[in-house]
Amino acid sequence: MKHYSIWLSKYDRIRTGILEGLRSHSRDIEDALKKIPAENIVLPAPAGLKADGGMCFVDGGEGITELLGASLYIIRASALMLDGDGGKDNEAIIRDLDMNIMDYDDYTKERIELLRDCMEFDVAQQCVEKHKPNYLFLDGSLYVKARKKPIKCIEDTIYRKKFARLLKTCRDRNVNLVGVSEDSRSKILAGHLNAKYNISLPRFMTDIGILRLIAGNRKFRTATFIPQSKFETESQNEKMTASFPTAYLQVNESASPLRVDIADWNRPMEEALALITHLSEGSRYYGYPIPLYLAHMDAKINESHAKWAANQLSAHVQKNDQRLYESVLRKNRRSLRPQ
């Protein structure tokens, strides 16, 4: 570290300002929450409950390597199917994998994320159609998936069609659809409390930050609330409308709360929270459903995988067309910078 005197001077001033600012936000939250009965926010944590049927857990992963004229991406999705009765007749893993190059634009990373989500929807669709689970757990918030900001690209159009198709399939087959957000930065609960009780919570604080101040290190769940916006889409056959009741759940003392949302045709939220509590019992510190974590690990793209794929594909192009390699797939200057 160079210029020690500048670093130390800045550090001393900034740390004091941050602490005082956070204390001010904390006092503002405490004053605002005095207007709300405590039982309307934080409730006792549910007891664990075993599923009465099959469960499917879906997650995806991605790896991106930036080259001179394009981004090379690898995406993978995994669906882990478990028999809720403890047998192995209905256990399976459904996987899919894609790799390609994508041109640079203002939304390259977002377009690759849309492709990953589409693959997750595809493997979830296969699992629902083939195995008919009672519960389908997706990594991430259903509400966020439904309210994703539109981007003018073909990937966005495909994304919305596949998500609507999965929602319709789950509704028609009476599959309980659950989204589990691991590290939500949402402010939806804060907005709900602001509107319902005419208070003003600091915009600086996320829902999880507010709940940590209220409940601390203990097991709890919040009351269920419904974000105001609904997901709506029209096809040639019918109009699909869905809303997503939401609650936060802290399954153990050392973890941060999970955000859980369900589709509005589901069984009650209480059952989903109890299932997640049971599925997280073997995760003492992580506080997350173990099968969903296993799906995450199965779908994860390691950095070494992404580099290997980029090197192999670049080498193939270089061998067969040196000019194209030099203009499109050569490593960029940043990756060759001396350390």
3-state secondary structure of 190: helix
Distance from C-alpha of 163 to C-alpha of 146, rounded to nearest angstrom:
8
pLDDT in tens, the chain (339 residues): 567 788 888 888 898 888 888 888 888 888 887 887 766 788 898 998 888 889 999 999 998 888 777 788 899 999 999 986 555 566 889 999 999 888 888 888 999 999 999 999 999 999 999 998 999 999 999 999 998 888 989 999 999 999 999 999 999 999 999 999 987 788 888 888 888 888 888 777 888 888 888 888 889 999 998 887 667 766 556 677 788 999 999 998 878 899 999 999 988 999 999 999 999 988 777 889 999 999 999 999 988 888 888 888 888 888 888 887 777 777 776 776 776
Strands (E), the chain: 42-43, 55-66, 70-82, 92-103, 135-139, 176-181, 220-222, 231-234, 239-242, 246-250, 258-262
Alpha-carbon 148 to chain mean position: 12
Domains of the chain, start order = 43-299 (3.30.2170)
Q: Between vectors from CA 243 to CA 241 and to CA 249, what angle results, nearest 5°?
A: 155
- Report the chain's C-alpha Rg in angstroms: 23
What pTM was computed for the model? 0.88
